[in-house]
C-alpha cells in the first residue's frame, strides 16, 4: 500500500531543505557540519547520493527487479567526498534533481508494488519502508547541516514513526537493569551500545 503520509511528508521535507540551502554561499557549504568529518558539502552530496540510490530501488520494482541500495564495494564516505567540493549552486542543483527523480519514481509505482522488497544495508525492506528511511536521512541530516533547523522542527509523522521504532530497539541497546532504573528515575541514562 502506498505510504501517502510519508510521501507527502518527504515532499515537504525536500522543499524545506532546498529552501534552507538557498542562502548558502560557496564558503558556507565548505564549513563543517555537525556530523564529525563531514562538511556541509559532504552532507548535501550524501543526501543526494542516497536519494538517487533509493530512486534506483523504485525503478527496479517497476521493472520487476529486487535491487540493492548500493553496488558491492560502494563506500558512502568516498562518494560524499567526491562531490563535497562543488560550488553551492552545483550542490543545490544536484540535490534538487535527486529529489525530483525520487519523487517521479514514487509516482510510477502501483499499490501492489509498494510491498515489493529492496535490499538495504540492514537487510530486506519493503519499498514503503524505504520511504521512511529516506525521510529519516533527510530530516536527521537537515539538522546535521547546522543551518537553523532543529529536532523541534521535525514533522510529527517522522517523529511518531521513528520514535516508535527506536523505542522498540532500546532494550537491545542497553543493560536492562540500568535501563529500567533510568525509566523509573532511579539512575542515570544508560550507556547505549551499537550505532543507531
Q: Where are the domains of the chain?
A: 4-154
| pLDDT for the residue numbered 191 | 87
Report the chain (196 residues): mean pLDDT per 10 consecutive residues.
95 98 98 96 98 97 94 91 97 98 96 94 94 96 97 96 89 90 90 75
CA distance 144 to 158: 16
Domain 4-154, CATH: 1.20.120.450
CA distance 152 to 69: 30
The whole model's pTM is what? 0.91
541514562: which residue's cell?
A: 189
- For the record, the C-alpha cell of 120 comes out as 538495504
Amino acid at each position: 500500500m502506498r505510504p501517502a503520509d510519508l510521501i507527502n511528508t518527504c515532499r515537504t521535507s525536500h522543499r524545506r531543505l532546498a529552501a534552507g540551502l538557498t542562502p548558502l554561499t560557496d564558503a558556507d557549504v565548505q564549513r563543517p557540519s555537525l556530523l564529525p568529518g563531514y562538511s556541509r558539502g559532504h552532507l548535501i552530496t550524501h543526501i543526494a547520493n542516497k536519494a538517487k540510490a533509493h530512486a534506483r530501488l523504485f525503478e527496479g520494482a517497476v521493472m520487476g527487479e529486487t535491487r540493492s541500495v548500493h553496488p558491492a564495494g560502494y563506500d558512502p564516505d568516498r562518494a560524499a567526498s567526491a562531490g563535497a567540493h562543488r560550488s553551492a549552486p552545483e550542490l543545490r542543483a544536484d540535490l534538487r534533481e535527486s529529489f525530483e527523480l525520487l519523487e517521479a519514481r514514487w509516482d510510477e509505482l502501483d499499490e501492489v508494488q509498494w510491498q515489493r522488497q529492496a535490499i538495504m544495508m540492514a537487510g530486506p525492506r519493503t519499498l514503503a519502508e524505504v520511504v521512511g528511511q529516506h525521510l529519516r536521512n533527510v530530516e536527521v541530516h537537515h539538522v546535521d547541516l547546522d543551518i537553523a533547523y532543529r529536532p523541534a522542527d521535525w514533522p510529527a509523522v517522522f517523529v511518531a514513526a521513528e520514535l516508535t521504532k527506536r523505542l522498540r530497539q532500546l532494550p537491545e541497546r542497553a543493560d536492562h537493569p540500568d535501563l529500567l532504573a533510568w525509566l523509573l528515575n532511579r539512575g542515570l541514562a544508560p550507556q547505549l551500545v551499537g550505532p543507531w
